[in-house]
Amino acid sequence: MGVGIEVKDLNAWYGSPHTLQGITLNIPANRATALIGPSGCGKSTFVRCLNRMHETNPTARATGTVRMGDVDIYADASPVEIRRRIGMVFQRPNPFPTMSIYDNVASGLKLNGYSNKRELDTVVESSLKKAALWDEVKDDLKKKSGASLSGGQQQRLCIARALAVDPEVLLMDEPASALDPVSTSKIEDLIFQLKRQYTIVIVTHNMQQAARVAENTGFFLSGHLIEFDATDKIFTNPGDKRTEDYITGRFG
């Protein structure tokens, strides 16, 4: 099952620019939480801080507290362990192009020392089924590369790869922005299935998508979290004029 994430006074920098300023919110377990806001407002930096990818940039630093259940992710665990427990799916699908479909899904397991073929087969099949891709690729697992799939299939392959290492949280940074409407619909359907088992955080510029898939929504602007509430309230009765202006298209 997924776990909730509690964020208190999170600040982040890339060099001197203060990218995130005092972010505090609670992300509930086994729900989808959407993050909206104009480009450059800090949404992607925020999710990168949640699984410690932010610090892979040599100019980056962060302060504050991020707790996943009882674990302070910056004090109680290594970045490698946190990135296993909090998976990430990026805007553009990034399968390993020289690897087969099977090896793409199994790559994280092998890095973590798994070598038993039967165990690998079981996890690969289970992960592809969770990503709603198994029926489309089961006859080509070792024949085709991950890069041979369509864009939508590649994104679901990347989701399967993230799920294979058994995370509790799945971060999705605009996972459908590069996809056609049919593939986007499949990703949204998948989010509904996955949040039964995982905690989902999705960054999106598509406000209709946020309204469709997320129970809670946060609005970011210029590095600040302006408002965080139930999605229906954010979209029908926001508490801040800036949220209303963004949602109604007055800026952004």
> Averaged in consecutive runs of 10 residues, what is the pLDDT profile of the chain (252 residues)?
92 94 97 96 95 93 94 91 92 91 93 85 95 95 94 94 94 90 90 94 94 96 97 96 92 66
Is 33 within 8 Å of 219 (Cβ atoms)? Answer: no
Cα distance between residue 127 and residue 161, in whole Å: 7
Q: Decide: 11 and 224 in contact? Cβ < 8 Å.
A: no
Query: What is the tally of structural domains in the chain?
Result: 1
The CATH number of whichever domain residue 213 belongs to comes to 3.40.50.300
Residue 146 within any structural domain of the chain: no
Q: Is the pTM value of this prediction over 0.85? A: yes
| CA distances in angstroms from 56 to 139, 173, 227, listed in the order given | 37, 17, 28
pLDDT of residue 152: 92
What pLDDT does 179 receive?
87
Q: Judge whether 224 lies within some domain.
A: yes
- Choose among 35, 40, 36, 37: nearest CA to 5: 35
pLDDT score recorded for residue 213: 95
Q: Is 45 among the domain residues?
A: yes
- pLDDT at position 111 is 82
* Nearest C-alpha neighbor of 171 from the set 234, 108, 85: 85
| pLDDT reported for residue 156 | 94
Q: Tell me, yes or no, whether 232 lies in a domain.
A: yes
Kindly state whether residue 101 falls inside one of the protein's structural domains.
no
Distance CA 137, CA 167 (A): 23
Would you say residue 129 lies in a domain? no
- Domain membership of residue 124 (yes or no) is no
Evaluate whether residue 85 is within a structural domain.
Answer: yes
Residue 234 lies in domain:
5-94+169-247
Token pair for residue 239? 């508490």
